[in-house]
């Protein structure tokens, strides 16, 4: 590495920011799944479908706009969002199944 120390210091500083941001995202995701778990319980009790394509499409569109404004690739934001929603829907199905087995 040329200019070894200054570059390494800058890299270490950027990585510390990335680690802080990742910690924040993990905690945000944990809180998001607490909310979707409550949604899953509510849907199971009221026998609502675990999947709501209209809501998911509206969410995706809103996030694409937000991502664009924040300088994040909207396609990437939508791809990640889809993975998170799929995980939440999988959890909803598991909650509904448990409820049918132990009403």
Q: Toward its own copies, which CB reaches closer, 18 or 97?
A: 18
**Number of Cβ within a 10 Å radius of residue 68:** 12
User: Least distance from C-beta 29 to its own copies, angstroms?
Assistant: 5
Give contact residues for its own copies (rule: CB under 8 A): 1-3, 7, 10-11, 14-15, 17-19, 21-36, 38-39, 42-43, 45-48, 55, 59, 62-63, 66-67, 70-73, 76-77, 79-81, 83-84, 87
DSSP 1: -
Q: Toward its own copies, which CB reaches closer, 26 or 97?
A: 26
User: Least distance from C-beta 53 to its own copies, angstroms?
Assistant: 15
CA 61, 43, 84, 27 torsion-angle sign: positive
**Tokens for 75?**
């396609």
Q: Toward its own copies, which CB reaches closer, 58 or 97?
A: 58
Residue that the structure tokens 């969002």 belong to: 81
3-state DSSP assignment of residue 40: helix
Q: Toward its own copies, which CB reaches closer, 14 or 97?
A: 14
Taking a C-beta distance cutoff of 8 angstroms, is the pair 51, 103 a contact? no
């Amino acid at each position: 590495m040329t200019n070894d120390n200054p570059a390494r210091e800058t890299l270490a500083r950027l990585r510390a920011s990335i680690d802080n941001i990742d910690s924040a995202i993990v905690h945000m995701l944990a809180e998001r799944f607490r909310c979707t778990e409550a949604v899953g319980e509510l849907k199971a009790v009221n026998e609502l479908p675990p999947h709501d394509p209209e809501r998911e499409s509206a969410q995706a569109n809103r996030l694409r706009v937000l991502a664009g404004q924040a300088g994040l690739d909207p396609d990437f934001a939508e791809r990640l969002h889809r993975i998170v929603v799929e995980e939440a829907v999988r959890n909803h199905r598991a909650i509904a199944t448990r409820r049918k087995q132990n009403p």
